[in-house]
Chain A
Amino acid sequence: MKERLVAIYHGFGLPRLIIAGFLLLLLIIAGGTELSVAGLLSDALVRIGQNGIYVLAMVPSIQAGVGLNFGLPVGVICGIVGVLVAMEFSLLGFSGFLVAILLAVPLAIGAGYLYSLLINRVAGQEMMVGTYVGFSVVAGMCIFWLMAPFKNPALIWPVGGQGLRVTLTLADTFAGVLNDFLAFEISGLKVPTGLLLFYGFIAFLVWVFFRTKAGVAMEVVGRNPRFAAASGLSLNKYRTLGIIMSTVLAAIGYAVYAQSFGFVQLYNGPLMTAFPAVAGVLIGGASTREAKVRHAILGVVLFQTLLTVAMPVTNQLIEGNISEIARVVVSNGMILYALTRATGGDQA
C-alpha cells in the first residue's frame, strides 16, 4: 500500500502537489471572503474546457520531437477563418459550430504542412522559430482581416463597408452551443457539460492516436531520432504529422474557445495564445521532450483553476488591482520554471 502511494506521488510529482496545495489554500481563503467558491469553480470549469484543446495541441508536437508548439497561432488563425465564414453565412447553433470546424480543419492541415516545411529545416531551433512564426502570422493576418471579402454587416466596420471589426460577438450565432449543451447546476456550481464532453472526446482521440502504430512511431521519433532512423522510420514524416496534428487541434480549439468566450478577437487577439497553453502542459508534468495526454489534462485543470481563483482572491486581499500583474507573473514564471526542467515526468 505504502509503495503504491509512493508510486502515485512520484507519478504526480512534487510541483503539482505544491500547486494543488496552493489552490486548496486559495479556495479556503476565498471561503472566508465574500467571494462565492461555487462561482469561482464554475468559472474554472469553463476556462478548463475553453483552453483544454490548446494545451492538448502541445502533445503531438512534443511527442514528435519538435518541442512545444509556440506557433500555435498558425492553427488558431485557421480556426478564426472557419468561425468567420460560419458567421458570414449567419449559421446558427450547432450547424455554425460544426461548419466552422469543418472549414478550419482542412485549412489547418495545409497551414500545418507549410509550417512543418519550415520547422523541419531548423532542427534544434523549433521553439524559437515557432514563436516568431506565430507572431509573424498574426501580424500578416492583420492585413488579411482588413482586405478579406466578408460582406455580412455584423462583421465589417459600419463605416466604409470594408475590413473586419476588432471584436465580433457570437451572441447571435453560436455562442455557448457547447457550454449550454446538457448544462446543469448544483448548489451554485454550473457545469458546462457539452464543453467538457467535447474536450474529453478530443482528448480521447489524441490518446487513442498514441496507441496506434503511427502514434508509437511518432513517439519514437521524438524520443530518439537515431533509434527511429535505425528502425526505418522517416523522421521528417512524423515530425510533419506531429505539427499538422498540433495545428489542427489549435484550429478546433479556437472554435471551442470562441463559442465559450462569446467573442472573436481579431488583429492582435491571437498573438499570445501559445503561452498559456505552453504553461499548462508544462505544469501538468510534461517536458520539452515528453508529454502525455494526462499531462495536458492535469496541467490545464491546475493552471486555469489557479488563474481563475488567484485573481479575485488576491484582489480581495490586496488593495488595488494587481490581479492582471499577478496573472502575467504566475503564467510566465511557470513557463520559465518548466522550461528549465528538461526531464519532466516524475523528475519535474
Chain B
Amino acid sequence: MSVPVLEMKGISKSFYGTQVLKNINLTVGKGEVHCLVGENGAGKSTLMNILFGMSVIVQTGGFEGSVLINGREVAFDSPRAAIDAGIGMVHQEFMLLPGFSVTENVKLNREITKPNLFSAVFGNKMETLNRKKMAQDTRTALDKLGMTIDEWVPVAGLPVGYLQFVEIAREIDKENLQLLVLDEPTAVLTESEAEQFLGVIQRLAQSGICILFITHRLDEVMAVADRITILKDGELVRSGPKEDFTISQIAELMVGRKIDTESRKKRTTRPNDEGAVVLQVRDLRVNMPGEALRGIDLDVFRGEILGIGGLAGHGKVGLANGIMGLYPSQGKVLYEGQEVPLNDTRAALKLGLAFVSEDRRGVGLVLEDSIANNIVLTSMQSQEKFLKPGLLKLKDEKKIMSHALESIDKFDIRCTGPEQIVRRLSGGNQQKVCLARAFTQEPKLLFVSEPTRGIDVGAKSRVLELIVELNEMGVTVVITSSELAELRSIADRIAIIYEGRLAGILPPDAPDVQYGLLMAGKSLEEVGSR
C-alpha cells in the first residue's frame, strides 16, 4: 500500500482546559475525496487549524499528536509552511481582492516576472510582470475546472458561485498542490453551482490531488466522498469508506449522544397545554446577517421550555434577536394576545420579555463593569428598579448590593464579590451573571440563546439546571442552542430551523436520525416516512 498523502495521528487539543479534540486519527490517500462531517463545534475547524499551523493553535500551547505528509512528520508553525508543503485551502469566506482581475488574484504573491534594467540595479522586486505567462497559467487552471469566464475580468462583479471557483483555481495553480481543504464551500452556492462544483471536485481527485471536504450537506457527502469521517464533541465517531454509510446513519452519528452522558432530567412540573399559548409568532422575518429568518410561524405554550435547534447560519438565533428588536424584523408577534411592537426593544422589555444573548461578551455584558451593575442595569433602565425615590432618580447602591449578593448566592456565581469586574470571570460565571440579569427583570417569558457556548462542562450543567429552575418558578423559556443534546435534556419540545424556516417540531425523545434529517433539510413528512 502506498504512503498516504496526509496522516494525522492521535491529535488532541484543549483550549484553556476545555478539551476540544480527543485522539483524532485521519488519513487521506492520493486522489481521495475525504469528507469531514460533524455538527458546529464538533472540532472540524480546530482540526484544520492544526493542519495549517494557525497561530491560534500555537498561541494556546500547541497540540498533541503528529501530522505526517507523505509519510514524513511535519510541524507547521505558520500557514505559510503548510502552503509550501503543498496544502491548499479554500475558505468559507472569500479571500480575494475585488478590484483585481481573475489572473491577478490567482497569481497573487506568486507572480511570474522577467528581469529588466531596473531589476538588475535594484534587485528582483523591481522585475516586470510576465502578464502573458500569468494569463496562460490562469487559463489552464480555469480550464481544468471547466470554467468559461475570461481570466482578465475583475473579480468584483462576478457572481458568488464563480468566486469559489477562482479560489480553487488559485490553489490548483500551485504546482506542488497535493491536498486541498475545502471548508463548507457549497454553503454559499446555489444548487446548480453546487452540482458543478462537485463535478470539479471529482475531476481534481482524478488528477491525483486529494481533497478534504468539510460540509453539512449530507447529500453532497454521498455524492462525492470516497471516505467519510464523522466528528462529534471532539471525538472521532466513525471513519470508513462511503459504502459503509447511509444518509440516515451519518445524520444519526453526527447528532447522537452516548446514552449516559446526558440523561433527561425529571421535570417536576409539566406545562398545562390546554389552549394556553403565550407567544404567537406569525410570518416573522428577521434580517440578522448570517442568521436570517425567512418567515416563521411558531406557538409557545405557557410554562414550557421550547428548544430551538438547527445548524449555524440557518437562523435559529434570529428568532429571539428579532422579537427583542435587536435586528430589523417584520411579521407579527403576539404575546398574551397583545401585539409585540417589532424593532422596539424597550417595548418588548416592558411587556415582560427578557433575553440572554448568544453573544455573551458583546451584547450580554458590560465587560468593564461590576457584577452588581451588570445584574441590575437592564431592570434599572427599563423598569426603574433600584432607584431612590425622588426627582433625580439616584441609583440605590444599598439595594443594588443586597440584590447582587442575593443573586451571586442564588446563581452560584464564583467571584471575589459583587464589585468584581465581569471581564475577569470565567465564561460559565459570566453566563450566570447574564441569567441573573434576566431573572432580575422578573420576566414571564425568557429567551436564552446559546447558554452553554464556550463554557466548561461543570458550569454547563449548572447553567442548564438554573434555566430549568427558572422555568419551574413559572417562567416560560425559549432556549436556542447549537447543542442538540442539551436541548433534548431540558426542553419539552424542540423546533428545528432550516434555512430560515421551521423544518419541524420534535419531542425531545425522538430518534437521533429524525433530528439529523431535519437539520439537513428534509421535511417532517419525509422524516416520518423513513
User: Which A residues fall within an 8 A CB radius of B?
Assistant: 208, 211-214, 216-217, 220, 223-224, 226-227, 229-233, 289-290
Contact = CB atoms under 8 A, between A and B. Distances in A.
A213 B395 contact: yes
A230 B377 CA distance: 11
Interface of B: 324, 326, 345-350, 355, 357, 359, 362-369, 373, 377-378, 380-382, 384, 387, 392-395
Given A216-B377, A216-B380, A227-B363, 16 more contacts: A213-B384, A216-B381, A216-B395, A220-B366, A220-B369, A223-B368, A226-B359, A227-B365, A227-B377, A230-B324, A230-B345, A230-B363, A231-B349, A231-B382, A289-B368, A290-B368
B326 A231 contact: no
Nearest to B384: A213
Contact of B393 (A214, A227, A229): A214
Given A216-B380, A233-B381, A227 B346 contact: no
A227 B380 contact: no
Nearest to B348: A232
A224 B392 CA distance: 24
Nearest to B383: A232
A212 B381 contact: no
B418 to A, nearest CB: 16
13 contacts: A208-B392, A211-B394, A212-B392, A213-B395, A216-B377, A226-B362, A227-B364, A229-B345, A230-B326, A231-B381, A232-B347, A232-B349, A289-B368
A315 B420 CA distance: 48
B394 A208 contact: yes
Contacts of A229: 326, 345
A212 B394 contact: yes
B381 A223 contact: no
A216 B392 CA distance: 12
With a 10 A CB-CB cut-off, give which of B355, B362, B381, B393 has the most chain A CB atoms.
Answer: B381
B371 to A, nearest CB: 14
A290 to B, nearest CB: 7
B365 A224 contact: yes
Nearest to A233: B381
A63 B387 CA distance: 20
Nearest to B367: A224
A230 to B, nearest CB: 5
A231 B378 contact: yes
B290 to A, nearest CB: 16
A128 to B, nearest CB: 24
Contacts of B381: 213, 216-217, 220, 231-233
A207 to B, nearest CB: 11
A211 B386 CA distance: 12
Contacts of A208: 392, 394
Contacts of B365: 224, 227
B357 A230 contact: yes
Contact of A227 (B350, B366, B382, B395): B366
With a 10 A CB-CB cut-off, give which of B365, B382, B394 has the most chain A CB atoms.
Answer: B394
A213 B378 CA distance: 11
A229 B345 CA distance: 7
B387 A213 contact: yes
Nearest to B349: A232
A223 B369 contact: yes
